[in-house]
Structures are given as C-alpha cells and as structure tokens.
Amino acid sequence: MYTGSLRRLIDELGRLPGIGPKSAQRMAFYLLKIPNEDAHRLSDAIIEVKNNTSLCPTCLNVADTGELCPVCADSQRPTTILCVVEDPRDIVSVERTNQFHGRYHVLHGALNPLEGIGPEQIRVQELLARIEPEGVEEVILCTNPNLEGEATAMYLARLLSPLGLKVTRIASGLPVGGDLEYADDLTLGRALEDRRTVETD
C-alpha cells in the first residue's frame, strides 16, 4: 500500500521510543505534507545533535563537543553540593523545580545485577574523583525511587559516608495534589514512615 520511501520513513520513525505504528504513520504523512525546508530542518537537527554533542568532561551531562555543559559552565553555582542522577534527562526535571542550585553528576545508569550492571558499568569512579578537588560537602542521591535506583543510592551512601560527607536521599511519599485513595501501598507506607512533625508556630 505504501511506496518504498514512505514505508522506510514509517519504519524508521517507528523505532523511536513511545512511537507505535499508528503514530509513525501519522508523523510520516505529516512530513510528506509540510514544506521541504521544514522537513530539512528536522533532518538536519538530527545530524547536528549527533555531530556536535558529547558528554561534559566534569559532570557527564550532555554538552556541546569540547565544552562544559550549561550547568558546569555557570560559575555562580557552588561546587559544594552535588546532585547525583541516573540520566541527563533527570537534570532537566530537577532544574525545573527551581529548588536546587548546585552541580550535578550523571551516573548514566543504575545498578542492576540481573542485567550485569555493576558499579564499574556506571560512572561511580568519576563521581569519587570529584569529591575532594571540588570540595563537595553534600551529595544528594537523586536516583529513581525504584528497585535499581534505591540499590544505587544505598551503594553510593555506603561508599560516600566514610568520606565525612553529608549524604542525603530525595524523599518518597504521596505526590502533591494526590489522593490517599489512589496511592499504592508501598508509597503510602513510605509516606507514613517518613512522616514529619507539623510546624505550627
């Protein structure tokens, strides 16, 4: 039913994460319809990101090749507090909260013994190497609150605490605006466990 080049485009789009056959088809027909220069802009952007992007030599975030990432390049940010995340995308999420103004370290993964991912497969050595030279005083373990993320946080806490650092973990609990009725047992249990005194002054 499709011509060769349309079939190929649908196949390639269908490889993108979260894109099923229907979405791929919809996107392909959209690309068919738009002006040539708009389609070229997307095509060029893909190539450009592959050519011009690598990892920040300091924190391993995404950065323009040969440069520091935007966070590390910002000299206003203190190096004494470090937020450890699994993925460069997580930096975007944390930045959006406006609650953190320190530096980051990207592990590029989480411990997962079943899939053969141990401490050597993620960027733990690079993290350790930063602690002293940068004068880090607190490390916030901001890995995902799932099995792998918790294991990674626990592992890092054991590794970092003896160095005399303050090591903290992001809180788990009910989402803001959430509903007790729809909370899962584990989350509600954790919210109870981590309950805090209400300040009334």
Residue 101 in the binding site for a second copy (CB under 8 A) = no
- Which one of 7-15, 77-85, 141-149, 185-193 is the stretch in contact with a second copy (CB under 8 A)? 7-15
Residue 91 in the binding site for a second copy (CB under 8 A) = yes
DSSP SS3 for 168: strand
Interaction mask 63-82, a second copy, x per CB under 8 A:
xx----xxx-----------
Distances from the Cα of 120 to the Cα of 83, 108, 114, angstroms? 20, 11, 14
Beta carbons of 152 and 110 less than 8 angstroms apart: yes
- Could you tell me the two tokens for 156? 């890092």
Pairing of strands 53-55, 62-64: antiparallel
Residue 27 in the binding site for a second copy (CB under 8 A) = yes
What is the gyration radius of the CA atoms in the chain, in angstroms?
22
Binders in 31-50 for a second copy, by CB under 8 A? 31-32, 36, 38-50
Instruction: Return the residue of 60, 66, 85, 89 that touches a second copy, per CB under 8 A.
Output: 89
Strand partners, 55: 62
Contact footprint for a second copy (CB under 8 A): 1-6, 8-9, 11-13, 15-19, 23, 25-32, 36, 38-53, 62-64, 69-71, 87-89, 91-92, 95
